[in-house]
Amino acid sequence: MSRLPKPFTVLRRGDSKTFQFTLNPTCGLPTRICREWQRVSFQNFPDALAQYRNPKNKSAAETGVYALIQYLKSELAQGDIPHTAIKDVTVGDGCQNLPT
């Protein structure tokens, strides 16, 4: 029986005592959001999760990533995660800008 993949990976940086993480699509978030949180430092956490920014060990780091996943899911449900705007995009020489 194969193991289920973790919804994220946490790595300790070799040059310092800090951690970085990557979200996997198995966490339930869209692939676009998982790509944005690829090899990210804990210092990039939103202000609402400031208490998780400096994990002392891997266990604390994993707890912080679980909290981030829940935060991003709630933001996504509310529609607060920004999407890339299609503004001022042209195709060819004679085309007009796409409506927004």
Per residue in 75-97, pLDDT tens?
Answer: 888 876 554 444 554 555 555 55
Per-residue confidence (pLDDT) for residue 64, from 0 to 100: 93
Q: What is the pTM of this model?
A: 0.71
Higher pLDDT, 16 or 19: 19
Segment 11-19 shows an average pLDDT of 84
Per residue in 47-78, pLDDT tens?
Answer: 999 999 999 999 999 999 999 999 999 988 88
Per-residue confidence (pLDDT) for residue 18, from 0 to 100: 87
Q: Mark residue 36 as left, alpha or beta (left: phi above 0; alpha: psi -120 to 50; beta: remaining).
A: alpha
Question: How far from 90 is each of 46, 47, 84, 85, 94, CA to CA, in Å?
Answer: 34, 36, 16, 13, 9
Complete edge-to-edge strand list for the sheet that includes strand 8-12: 8-12, 19-23, 40-41
Q: What band does 11 get if pLDDT is binned at 50, 70 and 90?
A: confident
Per-residue confidence (pLDDT) for residue 1, from 0 to 100: 54
The H or E element containing residue 79 is: none
Question: Phi and psi at residue 68, in whole multiples of 5°?
Answer: -65, -40
Segment 21-29 shows an average pLDDT of 88
- The span from the CA of 99 to the CA of 95, in Å, is 12
